[in-house]
């Protein structure tokens, strides 16, 4: 127990002890109570990816997400999969249009009507620039080409705001950058592909804040469409529990972290949710971890009944108030980015990097459960796992001095503490 009248989240958001009224945000929700239960796979060999997909579907996944290049043979990966009954996600490092054409040819050969294909393809020029430090203008042309190729139930106008969350951005900043990201697309493409937009978010462990964050995104989207005088269309939200909150030590505690994060995303109205396996930091893709992640979905849906309720947070004074506050703060961030010249210019100038870096420093925890707080001192990292010291901002900028844009850095809150503990045992 605590005698403090107020408490705050790591990024400084204050939680009042009592809320007696709230705004009526009318945020909307996903189009149905249930959500797509997504699992992901990095494709290295097509036949292994196909075996993995069939196994995951047999165990209850309703969405498959593949990381692939345009050189990989898509029909072999998708062999025997009834695409009309699942959601298919394709994250592409190569040519997006080439992958979409391969998917359409496969659907034709399998006699699957393209209008029954659903899911998304992930080509995001802004995220690529933020991650690599290189602006690829040709990716904008790929989005234009995808507008011609992509079936109506598949999304292709992609805003990877999850990357900002993975780099330690606060929920407010993640929303503000997502809004600026969407604003950039609307200003460049107009109403082309308007019904095929989708946003990826990360979900953290402060579940009530995450509920408000996901709800706030729908309000921001609605108001952005009103500003452009476009008709309202549903925005597809994909959310994933972030590895930012995972630890390498005491990995089973990640099951609790991911459950809190997924609860926030589902209750907040995400259309599709991926729960990261509890051991993904140390084992990558692992059958046991993936099965337990699916079981977390099932417990929320089939034991807790969360797939039967539309917008369960509606009317909660605290969450409605938090939703409204996040909307106002995100709009201020977007306004400032517009004054800079847009999100690409904000990246080139270092404004976004500076903001996220300051938030990471403010939120970096001094204690992490299982690492240096109630640790199991006898526990060792799995063989082959090493933890390197975190580069300073100066060292990071020097490493990428040849880039037009300083790449954002992925953060794990426990990483520096794990390095200290690991180093002390050597």
**Position 7 in a domain:** no
The per-residue pLDDT for 100 is: 96
> What average pLDDT does range 116-138 have in this prediction?
96
Helices 253-268 & 207-227, crossing angle to 10 degrees?
30
**Nearest residue to 249 (alpha-carbon basis) of 49, 92, 45, 425:** 425
The pair of three-digit structure tokens given for residue 365, joined into one six-digit string: 């925890």
Q: CA-to-CA distance for 63 and 419, rounded, in angstroms?
A: 35
Q: CA-to-CA distance for 424 and 426, rounded, in angstroms?
A: 6
Q: CA-to-CA distance for 332 and 26, rounded, in angstroms?
A: 21
Q: CA-to-CA distance for 426 and 414, rounded, in angstroms?
A: 19
Contact present, 270 and 34 (Cβ < 8 Å): no
**Position 44 in a domain:** yes
Q: CA-to-CA distance for 392 and 163, rounded, in angstroms?
A: 20
Q: Give the pLDDT band of residue 131 (cuts 50, 70, 90).
A: very high
**Position 352 in a domain:** no
**Position 155 in a domain:** yes
Q: What's 73's domain CATH number?
A: 3.20.20.240
Q: CA-to-CA distance for 194 and 230, rounded, in angstroms?
A: 9
Q: What is the CA radius of gyration of the chain?
A: 21
What's the domain range around 116? 30-327
Q: CA-to-CA distance for 219 and 182, rounded, in angstroms?
A: 13
Look at residue 86 and give its three-state secondary structure.
coil
The per-residue pLDDT for 4 is: 65
Contact present, 408 and 164 (Cβ < 8 Å): yes
**Position 339 in a domain:** no
75-113 pLDDT, tens digit per residue, is 999 999 999 999 999 999 889 999 999 999 999 999 999
The vertex-347 CA angle with 346 and 349, nearest 5°, equals: 65
22-36 pLDDT, tens digit per residue, is 898 989 999 999 999
Per the structure, the count of domains in the chain is 1
**Position 245 in a domain:** yes
Q: In what order do the strands lie in the sheet with 154-155?
A: 154-155, 119-122, 87-92, 63-68, 36-42, 272-274, 236-241, 197-203, 157-160
Please give the distance of CA 402 from its chain centroid, rounded to a whole number. 28
The per-residue pLDDT for 1 is: 44
Contact present, 207 and 246 (Cβ < 8 Å): no
10 Å CB burial of residue 288 (0-12, 13-18, 19+) is exposed
**Position 336 in a domain:** no
H helix and E strand count, the chain: 16, 11
Tokens 């060292």, located at residue? 395
283-342 pLDDT, tens digit per residue, is 777 899 999 999 999 999 999 999 999 999 999 999 999 999 999 999 999 999 999 999
Q: CA-to-CA distance for 320 and 258, rounded, in angstroms?
A: 23
With left for phi above 0 and alpha for psi between -120 and 50, is residue 243 left, alpha or beta? alpha
Residue 319's contacts (CB-CB under 8 Å, 6 or more residues apart) are 22, 208, 211, 212, 215, 313
226-271 pLDDT, tens digit per residue, is 999 999 999 999 999 999 999 999 999 999 999 999 999 999 999 9
**Position 406 in a domain:** no
């Amino acid at each position: 127990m605590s005698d403090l009248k107020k408490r705050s989240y790591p990024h400084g958001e204050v939680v009042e002890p009592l809320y007696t009224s709230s705004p009526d945000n009318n945020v909307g929700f996903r189009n149905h109570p249930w959500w797509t239960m997504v699992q992901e796979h990095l494709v290295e060999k097509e036949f292994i990816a196909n075996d993995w997909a069939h196994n995951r579907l047999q165990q209850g996944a309703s969405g498959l997400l593949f990381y692939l290049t345009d050189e990989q043979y898509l029909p072999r990966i998708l062999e025997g999969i009834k695409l009309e009954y699942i959601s298919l996600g394709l994250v592409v490092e190569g040519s997006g249009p080439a992958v979409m054409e391969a998917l359409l040819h496969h659907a034709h050969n399998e006699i699957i009507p393209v209008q029954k294909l659903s899911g998304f393809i992930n080509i995001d020029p802004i995220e690529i620039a933020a991650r690599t430090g290189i602006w690829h203008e040709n990716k904008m042309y790929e989005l234009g080409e995808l507008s011609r190729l992509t079936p109506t139930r598949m999304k292709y106008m992609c805003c990877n705001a999850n990357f900002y969350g993975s780099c330690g951005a606060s929920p407010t900043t993640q929303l503000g950058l997502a809004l600026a990201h969407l604003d950039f697309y609307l200003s460049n493409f107009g109403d082309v592909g308007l019904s095929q937009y989708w946003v990826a978010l990360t979900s953290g462990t402060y579940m009530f804040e995450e509920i408000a964050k996901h709800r706030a995104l729908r309000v921001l989207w609605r108001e952005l469409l009103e500003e452009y005088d476009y008709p309202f269309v549903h925005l597809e939200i994909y959310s994933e529990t972030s590895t930012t909150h995972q630890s390498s030590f005491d990995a089973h505690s990640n099951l609790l972290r991911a459950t809190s994060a997924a609860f926030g995303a589902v209750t907040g109205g995400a259309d599709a949710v991926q729960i990261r396996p509890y051991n993904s930091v140390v084992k990558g893709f692992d059958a046991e971890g993936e099965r337990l992640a699916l079981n977390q979905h099932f417990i929320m849906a089939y034991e807790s009944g969360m797939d039967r309720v539309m917008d369960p947070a509606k009317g909660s004074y605290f969450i409605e108030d938090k939703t409204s506050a996040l909307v106002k703060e995100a709009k201020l961030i977007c306004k400032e980015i517009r004054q800079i010249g847009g999100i690409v210019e904000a990246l080139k100038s270092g404004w976004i990097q500076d903001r996220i870096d300051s938030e990471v420093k403010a939120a970096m925890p001094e204690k992490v459960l299982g690492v240096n707080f109630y640790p199991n001192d006898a526990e060792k990292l799995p063989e082959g796992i090493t933890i390197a010291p975190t580069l300073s901002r100066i060292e990071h900028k020097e490493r990428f001095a040849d880039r037009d844009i300083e790449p954002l850095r992925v953060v794990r809150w426990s990483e520096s503490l794990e390095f200290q503990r690991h180093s002390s045992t050597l």
